[in-house]
Structure formats: C-alpha cells, structure tokens
Amino acid sequence: MLLSNYHTHTSRCGHASGEDEDYVLEALGHGYRYLGFSDHAMLPGFSEPYKRGEYSLFQDYVLSISSLKEKYKGQIEIYLGFEAESFPDYFPFYKELLDNHVLDYMILGNHMAIDRDKNIVARFANITSPSQLYLYKDLALKAISSHLFSIFAHPDYFMANIENFDSDCKKVSKEIIEACIAHDIPLEVNMAGIRTGKRMIGRKKRYIYPTDEFFQLVSKYKAKCVIGCDAHAPEQLSSDAGEFLAVEFAKKHNLVLVDKLDTIQQH
C-alpha cells in the first residue's frame, strides 16, 4: 500500500470534483500518511478555463489547504504545491512562491508550450512533428535543471499521440531520464493514464501513459520513480484497482519506487 501521493487536484481547475477536505478524508481512510495538493498552476496573466483555476482563486487555494494542514496535524502530513508547466517566463514567479514558502513544492506537468505573448504554441498531448517532440525535451530539461520541481509527472506525456517509439523518442527519453537522475527528480508512473484504460493509439492498444518503452529505459537506468494518483476526484485517492495496476506496471518494469520524498517538506 502506498503511503504518499503528491499529485492531487482540486475543483478550482474546472475539471475536478469534490471539496478540498473530501480529498483529505479519503486519503486518511485509505491510510496515506503524506498528501500533496498539486493543483494546476494558477498563473497571473494567463487564463485557461477548465484546464486551470484563475489566478484570482490562488489565495483561496493557499488558505484552504493551509487550514487543512493545521486541522489534520498529527493524522496526515499535507503539502501545498502546484503542477506547473515549463513556462520559463514564469520561473521567477515559481521561485518566489517556493522561496517565500507560499508553496511547499512543485511538480512538472509538461503539457504545453507558450510564447512570450502567452499564446499556446504546442500541445504535447498531440505531438505531430519531431520539432514538437524536441521542444518537449528542451522545455523538460530547462525545468529539471531549474531546481523548481520535485517530481516529473507523466514524463512520457509526449507519447500520448505517438504510435511508434522511434529513435527520436528514444533520444528524447534518454536525455530526460539522465537529467532526472542528475538532479534527483523522480519520474512519475501516472495513475490517471492507467485509469483511462488502454486505448488504440494508431494500431497499438496501450495506455496513453505510462508507456512500456519509456519505462523500460527508466528501469535500465535504475532511475527513481514515484506513483502519482493524479486525483481529480476524492474517490480516486482510494482506487484499489488503479493502485494495483500502477504497482503491477512498476513491478513489470522492475522500477525503483520511492514513496515518501524527503525533498518535499512542510513549511
């Protein structure tokens, strides 16, 4: 049984359900000792309805999770974080939140790229060219070496719409895994991808992520991994089926799993 989950969303993002406290109660019931909230980053000057909460909700997020930290002290250790993209123009903002202990930690969710005017220039769930794949890698490496992120969530997100793990995919994967090892950032086996079930991607039936080819490499490198629930509803925190399949996936690939992360601390 897992003791920790560092990948939990809240209803503020517009595509998750339940009250913040429901997630805590569900986690307590399931026996978690460490629960990290990592809702989609709410960013000043960047609005993305139904994908992330408006920046105006950020203060409420901080206050709500902070009060739950206090209320459940001694029962469960709660951390406050963000799942954020590698938006280099926002790195100073991320750094400020961490340095000032507004947030305890951040996880990297490399979903998309934006330009200087904050227009979305690539969505990595739907990569259609090698240049987009290499942009995914470049942004990932920038984030990994920034010391802002404690976990790389669904690191093989780029495979969501790619049928064949070709030589470019292999090259990108290797560089990502090597960087994660160098910076001691665990790679996440993402339970949301598993919960979605296997589906046809081109002619192959598989999870959108995690993918066998990527985690075979992770295993070869003996890189650290975590299982992330990526909960968008409280009951997903106690989904035995999801957890079983994630653990089975990790066992199949002989992954080095870490549970409690010392790099994530309460502030």
Assigned token pair, 40: 């989609």
Tell me whether residue 83 or residue 156 sits nearer to Zn ion (CB atom).
83
Q: Which of residues 220-239 bind Zn ion (CB under 5 A)?
A: 230
Nearest to Zn ion of 86, 219 (CB atom): 86
Q: Binding to Zn ion by residue 104, rule CB under 5 A?
A: no
Beta strands in the chain (DSSP E): 4-5, 34-40, 77-84, 105-108, 112-114, 120-123, 151-152, 187-190, 199-201, 204-206, 224-228, 256-257
Long-range pairs for 246-253: beta carbons < 8 A, 24 or more residues apart: 246/189, 246/191, 246/194, 247/2, 249/189, 249/194, 249/210, 249/215, 250/189, 250/225, 253/212, 253/215, 253/216, 253/218, 253/219
Q: How far is the CB of 159 from Zn ion (least distance, A)?
A: 16
Q: Cβ closer to Zn ion: 11 or 64?
A: 11
Q: Which is nearer to Zn ion, 81 or 218 (CB)?
A: 81
> What is the per-residue binding string for Zn ion in 64-93, x denoting contact by CB under 5 A?
-------------------x----------
State the minimum distance, in angstroms, from the CB of residue 228 to Zn ion: 8
Judged by CB under 5 A, the number of residues near Zn ion is 2
What contacts 24+ positions apart, CB below 8 Å, involve 56-60? Answer: 57/12, 60/12
Closest distance of CB 108 from Zn ion, Å? 10
> Position of tokens 């999770």?
65
Cβ closest to Zn ion, residue 230 vs residue 243: 230
Q: Give residues in contact with Zn ion (CB under 5 A).
A: 83, 230
